[in-house]
Amino acid sequence: MASLFKYITSSLICIFSFSLLAENIDYEELIEGVFQNSDQYPKRLLELGATNINYEVKKGGKSYFFRHSANLAKELYSSQDIEYLVLKQLEKTKFAPCPYFFDSKRGLMITEYIEHDEVTLDLKDQKVQEAICGMLKSIEEENIVVDRVFDPYQDTLVLAKKATTPLPHGLDGMLSALETISKKLRENPRKTLCHLDLHHKNILQKGDRLFLIDWEYAAMSHPYHIFASMASIERWSDHDMWKILDNYLGNSSQEDKECIYMYRIVSDLFWAVWCHVQMENPSTNSPYTEWRDLFFAAAKERIHKVESVQREDCPC
């Protein structure tokens, strides 16, 4: 079964150009129109992201989402191949945009454009959290698998090694603590498809429906990792993080809270290193140095608490 899955996965990735005939549109013409600024394909810049340039492109009264992935994407763990495979497997759930065209070599993807309400979701709102948790449970029930498993220590270490400038004092040394945490997390090997870049900009609302976008950081990991990463990016307190965990589980135990707490340390360190690498190759005017230091401080504080508890519990 594993061999069959790898065969199917590799076959999909090798099909660099894919289009839905039902759309009845020449995607190569659309791509050329976007790059040539053709009036036939008016475009609107949605966001100049760290790893992508994103447009809304109009053709024949319909809008398309056009993503051009930068060369730096793979340096930052981002994978358009993973994103495409996830979107293909999520098509029937209607929780994410429908993919129309994918060209891995050129870093191009065209999907459905979600005509969403221009609102910023309050992710701390009870009803919003219940809706998000319901979606994530439904996605988990689909048993979707991608060929990438997140390893807290190894993946963060690989990212750190891509840095061309020294990591901040203390950040390099904290990787040893992360290795210990990773070993502890392996005791709970539960894995599911995880959207590891989930935050308010990647959750769109259209009426009473929500959509999850930007799956390029998706990987197989523990489901609590999704909420830990969200809490990390949104700069939530532990109380806020445990609240959404309660909404997901119904009632979280102390063991559940300890598990997500460790994944929060993982997330804070991962994004601290991510920001450091991105800081060296800025594609936007985002304050990556400031963000790096915030993630670093958050991880340092939580690691200190864990080490303090361990010392208190030591029978020596």
Quick: pLDDT tens for 124-159. Answer: 999 999 999 999 999 999 999 999 999 999 999 999
* Better-scored residue on pLDDT, 241 or 70: 241
150, 193 in Cβ contact below 8 A? Answer: no
When pLDDT is averaged across residues 291-298 and rounded to a whole number, the result is 96
Helix (H) or strand (E) holding 63: strand 62-69
CA distance 64 to 62: 7
| pLDDT per residue as tens digits for the range 42-57 | 999 997 677 788 999 9
When pLDDT is averaged across residues 196-212 and rounded to a whole number, the result is 94
Residue 303 in tokens? 């690691």
Q: What is the structure's pLDDT at 51?
A: 75
When pLDDT is averaged across residues 102-125 and rounded to a whole number, the result is 94
Residue 60 in tokens? 């024949």
Q: What is the structure's pLDDT at 146?
A: 96
Neighbours of 225 (CB within 10 A): 26
Confidence of residue 311 (pLDDT cuts 50, 70, 90): low
Q: What is the structure's pLDDT at 7?
A: 33
35, 56 in Cβ contact below 8 A? Answer: no
Whether the per-residue pLDDT at 108 is higher than 90: the answer is yes
220, 150 in Cβ contact below 8 A? Answer: yes
Whether the per-residue pLDDT at 272 is higher than 80: the answer is yes
Q: Which CATH class is domain 2-112?
A: alpha beta
Decide: helix, strand or coil at residue 193: strand
Q: Which fold has domain 126-313?
A: Aminoglycoside 3'-phosphotransferase; Chain: A, domain 2 (3.90.1200)
Domain ranges of the chain: 2-112, 126-313
End-to-end CA distance of the chain: 49
Q: What is the structure's pLDDT at 139?
A: 96
CA distance 133 to 230: 12
